[in-house]
Structure 1
């Protein structure tokens, strides 16, 4: 039986984030073009989303493209943008049918007008779905998110001094303001850092690092991460009981 069915609701994370690392190394190990690594990685997303739905994980946030990724070779960036556009075009009807609400978070102004329109249409088409929110972070950085939230708060409260800004006030203007805080953060590819991904949201997330490169990451391994999370003693800064 799929382990996603063996965990009780009160031990499951509500919000899972994944840093999908290892596409380029996966391709290099196979003497393949980097572009094929990214394409293979993109194919993993549907299976993970389906497992989240079966496991009653209500929010899944994927780190697809960081603000730093623009530094990569122009050809690679172009391929990534093309894969993103293809994903939006090819998967949106499936997402709508399966109750997936899509949100793209990040500074979308740097994307082409065509890609921005695809994002807008996909978000609009899936906006009323309720089984799971799939949040794709594209041209996203955790520091950017906090800065834009502070600017948005100040714009909405022009007469108030910055000293009146609270944590709750800032959180309301983050790009993920309608999501619960992240419970579990998974990073594939063997690195043990969060690389500027949802720094605020992951403040108390459990960190699960795995050597497997993203294109090889299986639903079984995802369920093992959920099971590992279910056994964590989450105290949020309080003392452990004697």
Structure 2
């Protein structure tokens, strides 16, 4: 069992000086896992866990913004999640609509820029409409970039990038000598985002589940037994504190 989070707040409710403002991760990606198991533990239907997970999403967004994190990417629905029962999938497709309906005004007030990373194909019209509206209304915001990875799968993303490059080679616009990591990155769905500095996964699972396989090459990873609906500011602070205790070498020596 992993160690539970320590408190990063003193008795007066103020932040302790544990975190260095000079070493805050620029981009944090989170695999929000454990909604269903949390609900089962509470003796409630899985959809209640997803509803509670939406509240945790808001807490994490506020905490990330307060910390000065610039990019927050949330794995909301994978290309593999379509295999789940239809009623659960239908409910999950309503969550972005409900979340944005409730929180968009506050996100705008906090200067948050909403983005989506994934495939619109197969998504219900109401889900796409809500996301497009949020993206349009926040496109000029200059604060935290909140990206929803929705209907996202990294293997599909990389495959599509390879196809696009191959087509450019066939047309004569590129040669094989032009293929570089930078070129591949420009064809990924995350092309406008820096690679994550820190990946967080909740629920005790120790895998990345087809999430940003290319982009996570040198990311620090932090896993916790906490189910996503219980995730709060304290846990994000603990993850960042652990990040700050590590030395990132990128394959070299320091």
- TM-score, normalization by structure 2: 0.89
Unaligned ranges ≥5, structure 1: none
Q: Output the CA distance in 2 between the equivalents of 1:124 and 1:155.
A: 31
1:154 to 1:122, Cα distance in 2 relative to 1, 3 A: farther
Who is 2:251 aligned against?
237
Who is 2:141 aligned against?
129
Q: Output the CA distance in 2 between the equivalents of 1:129 and 1:152.
A: 31
Who is 1:216 aligned against?
230
Paired residues of 2:96 and 2:131 also in contact (CA < 8 A): no
* 1:87-126 alignment runs, 5 A limit: 87-126=99-138
Greater shift after overlay, 54-63 or 107-116? Answer: 107-116
* Count, aligned residues: 239
Query: 1:142 Cα deviation (Å)?
Result: 1.1
Q: 3-state SS of the aligned residue for 2:128?
A: helix
Paired residues of 2:93 and 2:124 also in contact (CA < 8 A): no
1:155 to 1:118, Cα distance in 2 relative to 1, 3 A: farther
Q: 3-state SS of the aligned residue for 2:121?
A: helix
User: Is 2:47 the counterpart of 1:22?
Assistant: no
Deviations 1:150-176 (CA, angstroms, capped at 9, x unpaired): 333445663123453211011012111
Query: 1:149 Cα deviation (Å)?
Result: 2.3
RMSD of the alignment, in Å? 1.5
Q: 3-state SS of the aligned residue for 2:114?
A: strand
User: Is 2:3 the counterpart of 1:2?
Assistant: no
Who is 2:194 aligned against?
180
Q: 3-state SS of the aligned residue for 2:240?
A: helix
Q: Output the CA distance in 1 between the equivalents of 2:166 and 2:111.
A: 35
Q: Select the residue among 84, 91, 94 that pairs with 2:96.
A: 84
* 1:25-44 alignment runs, 5 A limit: 25-44=37-56
Who is 1:207 aligned against?
221
Query: 1:8 Cα deviation (Å)?
Result: 2.9
Q: Output the CA distance in 1 between the equivalents of 2:107 and 2:164.
A: 30
Unaligned ranges ≥5, structure 2: 1-13
